Every structure is written in C-alpha cells, then in structure tokens.
C-alpha cells in the first residue's frame, strides 16, 4: 500500500516551529496528468533499453511503497528539518 501522509517539521532553537502535514493522495492526483504526458517517453526509453515496461512499473510502485516509515532529519546550527513519511 502506498503511504498516505508526509509530515514536514522545521524547528528553530529560538522557539519557532513550522509543521506541515501533506495528504499524499492529493499529490498523486496532481502528478497523474504529468505522468500521463511522460508515459510515451518512458515507454520508448524502455523499448530502447530493452526493459519490460510492466516490470519497470511494478518496480517503481514497489519503491514508492517501500518509502513508508522513512524518517529523515537534518540539522545545522539553530535549525533542523524533519521529513516523516507514514
């Protein structure tokens, strides 16, 4: 199953926090027209490289599904950014 929410937290040591929760279903729906426009180019690239396009699609979906539970935190000095995909 593809993850549903990404949480982005930006923290400052001075007390200012910014929290953003993004419902990823809406992001997928917004990216769908772009994916449909890129589909012919992707199919041609698969044919040129002799890659099964259906297997490539399944692999891409598996990579997206594996992102669930990803937790990335980057900090420098007074600021830190946290991205959590659940």
**Tens digit of pLDDT per residue, the chain (86 long)?**
555 888 888 888 777 788 899 888 888 899 999 999 999 999 999 999 999 999 998 998 898 888 888 888 998 888 888 888 87
Nearest to 18, CA basis, from 86, 85, 82: 82
Query: Are 5 and 24 contacting, i.e. CB atoms less than 8 angstroms apart?
Result: yes
CA-CA-CA-CA dihedral for 82, 86, 67, 27, to nearest 10: -90
Please state the pTM of the whole predicted model: 0.66
Residue-range definition of the domain harbouring residue 37: 5-85
The count of domains in the chain is 1
């Amino acid at each position: 199953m593809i993850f549903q929410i990404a949480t982005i937290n930006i923290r400052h040591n001075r007390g200012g926090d910014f929290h953003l929760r993004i419902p990823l279903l809406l992001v997928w729906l917004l990216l769908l027209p772009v994916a449909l426009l890129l589909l012919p180019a992707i199919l041609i690239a698969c044919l040129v490289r002799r890659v099964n396009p259906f297997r490539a699609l399944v692999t891409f979906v598996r990579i997206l599904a594996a992102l669930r539970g990803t937790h990335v935190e980057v900090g420098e000095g007074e600021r830190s950014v946290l991205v959590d995909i659940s």
